[in-house]
Chain A
Amino acid sequence: MNEHVLEGRNLVKTFGAGHTEVRAVDGVSLTIGRGELVLIMGPSGSGKTTLVSMLGGLLRPTAGRVLIEGTDITALPESALPRIRAQKVGFVFQAFNLLEALTAEENILFPARLLQGGFAGARKRAQSLIERLDLVKRREALPGTLSGGEKQRVAIARALINAPPLILADEPTGNLDSASGQEVMMVLHDIARDEGRSVILVTHDPRVEDIADRILWLEDGEFRDRKAEQHQWTRDPVCGMRVDEWTADLRATFAGQSFVFCSIRCQQRFEADPARYASQAPDPAQDRGREVPP
């Protein structure tokens, strides 16, 4: 058994050509072991999603190879990739991407139905996942009636239904409040630690660093060492959660002051009543200068 669940070798992805060519990923190599939880962090536009898309067989690299459990998926024809995705990779998206017409349970079972002969036992696995992710009372609910945290738990269960060795999660907490985000992070952590699945997490959420086995910093399409001063901590004015001002995507300005947010939900709340939250905002200076956790 290959203990390297995932290998990426000299991965390059370019978009456009000539003087408009952009090298989104530029010669990235990485190896992910079984049961590892690896964070890929980096500023916006650094190529994180492009890299994860190539690792999951969603996007063909311009150069380089991706091996999942020893199978070079870059050498496979396009027609073979859907089966690889369904069997070997579980995806968790920032926007949940549940199928709106299906109930929570049907969404969870959907990838199992895509595999010929793969449905046997899926219902039992779904039952187990539903119980584990505390979705028992919501199994018949349609996505439109689920909370953000419930949606993401359904999405995680869907990613696990075919028992893939690799889970790829792109900003899984990006649309969640802090409590739901924390919960989702712990579920992903347990998946790696208890089930031996490899989890690659693209995130801006600095709280996850504490539970990660490794942190890879992607910048300008390449892995780089992080500088010690890379974090500029401040507080989300709505929920009070610690947010890295340097990497945060969600920003707003009110009364000449700049604010960053942990989630869209907090940003929306702030924008609905900025005066209220601006007045309650803690002094950002108290968090600044804090050292980056190792």
Chain B
Amino acid sequence: MWRWTFKSVVASPLTLAMSIAAAACAMLLAILFEAIYAGEAKQVVAYLENADADVWVMQSGVSNMHMATSYLSDWKAHEVRNVDGVASVESILYLNTVIDAGGKKWFSFVVGLDSSSKGAGPWSMTKGRSMPNSGEAIVPGVFADMTGLQLGDTVAITDRKFRVSGFSADTFSMGNTVIFVTKPDLEDVMSSLDIVSFMLVKAKAGVSPDVLAQSIERKVTNVNALPSSEFAENDRTMVMQMGVETIALMTTIGGSLAILLVAFTVYSQIARQQRELAVAKALGATNWMLFTSVTAQATAISLISVLVAVFLASILVPLTDAFVPQVTLRVTAGAIERIAILGVAVALVASLVPVRRIARADPVTAFHG
């Protein structure tokens, strides 16, 4: 029986290759959609995850950064600094706005940095300086590639022009970009003085961010203090509920299409053998034998398809990173595992449709040539 099962699978190499290719393409599609979703989900909070802070302090009532406005009097930084367990405090000014580079506009987080900033600025650079001077902006390298910006070119933030002095890495997502300017420049843009938006707090060694956040909220009035992980998660949730919902929808639709394609491919492969299954039953094969034969074929086809899909993804993802840098793809082991399990499950269910028909049918059908 196993010999027949194996030989039936490989009997028509071209058909088998096409089946595997179709199923693999469907799974690759699902992997890529998942990768886009995961990549974007990571990228939208890249700044929060890479800024050097254990606890973020913001205006009371504010709990995330994306599309949020937070105003704190700058003297509160002194109060925060005096809380037990605080090692250092760094303040940033922050504005949600649109950056305009030669008519190309992109929604951006503009971060105003103190000249002494150590952990709130860009964490990786592709070109130029990492700290802006007055009248300068550091923009994402990907945004520069998209717009043709060169170092020394000008970008507009509201009605102010800034000279580009550096290109940062890993600061671009489809939902936003992170632009760095000096704090005085941003104060000027916002017509605000003596205020900060967020404070990045470093805890002393051995102090838990959760405990420190609670201490800050107790000691400093009208502030909200959140551990970095919670703050980033809040932001991720907020972004997912907004622009990334579209990606999630695309992922769902793409995943559903992939499932249908895998199901159809495996169904076709097994249905092609329906007549031989009936013959086998007439010759004395039990329903269980047919069931195991068909499920083994479906499992083999879907697992090979997963491997091919992963192989193709390992080629396509670096190529996408190189040629379409505005799209961040993140392939995770969890996503591969999910797609593999789903692919095999769908293939098994699809394969059972023809075998169920055989199990119910009279083997007398083998008599009808």
The 3 closest A-B pairs by CB, nearest first: A86-B284, A95-B369, A101-B11
B276 sits at the interface (CB 8 A): yes
Q: Are B7 and A101 in contact, CB atoms less than 8 angstroms apart?
A: yes
Residues in A with CB closer than 8 Å to B285 are 82, 114
Q: Which of B279, B284, B362, B366 contacts A82 (CB 8 A)?
A: B284
How many residues in A have their beta carbons less than 8 Å from beta carbons of B? 31
Min Cβ gap B274→A in Å is: 13
Q: Contact at B284–A106, with CB atoms within 8 Å? A: no
Inside 8 A of B283's CB, which chain A residues have their CB?
85-86, 91, 110-111, 114, 158
Using Cβ atoms and an 8 Å threshold, which residues of chain A touch B363? Answer: 58, 85
Contacting residues, chain A, for B8 (C-beta < 8 A): 99, 101
Tell me how far the C-beta of B354 lies from the nearest C-beta in chain A, rounded to whole angstroms: 16
User: Which A residues are within 8 Å of any B CB, using their own CB?
Assistant: 49, 52-53, 58-60, 79, 82-83, 85-87, 91, 93-95, 97, 99-102, 106, 110-111, 113-115, 158, 170, 174-175
A94, B286: Cα distance in complex, Å: 23
Bound complex: CA of A170 vs CA of B276, how far in Å? 18
Contacts known (A82-B285, A100-B276); A93 close to B7, Cβ less than 8 A: no
17 extra interface residue pairs, beta carbon distance < 8 Å, beyond A83-B286, A99-B276, A101-B11: A53-B362, A53-B364, A58-B282, A60-B362, A85-B363, A93-B369, A94-B367, A99-B4, A100-B276, A101-B7, A106-B7, A110-B4, A110-B283, A113-B1, A113-B3, A114-B286, A115-B284
List the B side residues contacting A59 at CB < 8 Å. 362, 364
B280 at interface, CB cutoff 8 A: yes
B281 sits at the interface (CB 8 A): yes
Q: Does more than half of chain B's interface fall in helix, strand or loop, or is it mixed?
A: helix
Establish whether residues B366 and A97, one from each chain, have CB atoms under 8 Å apart when the complex forms. Answer: yes
**Cα distance A87–B1 in the bound complex, in angstroms:** 16
**Do A85 and B282 have beta carbons less than 8 Å apart?**
yes
Query: In the complex, are the beta carbons of A82 and B369 less than 8 A apart?
Result: no
Which of B4, B280, B369 has its CB near the most chain A CB atoms (within 10 A)? B369
Of A58, A94, A106, chain B has the most CB atoms within 10 Å of the CB of A58
A155 to chain B, nearest CB (A): 10
Structural contact, B4 and A114, CB atoms closer than 8 A? no
From B4, B10, B276, B366, A93 is in contact (CB under 8 Å) with: B366
CB contact between B284 and one of A49, A53, A85 (< 8 Å): that residue: A85
Question: Which residues of A sit under 8 angstroms from B1, Cβ to Cβ?
Answer: 113-114
Distance in angstroms between the alpha carbons of A108 and B10 in the assembled complex: 20
Q: List 8 A-B contacts (CB under 8 A).
A: A49-B364, A53-B362, A83-B286, A86-B283, A93-B369, A111-B283, A114-B289, A158-B283
A residues less than 8 Å from B281 (CB atoms): 82
**Closest CB in chain A relative to B34 CB, distance in Å:** 36
Chain B's nearest CB lies how many Å from the CB of A5? 18
> What residues of chain B lie closer than 8 Å to A79, measured between beta carbons?
286-287
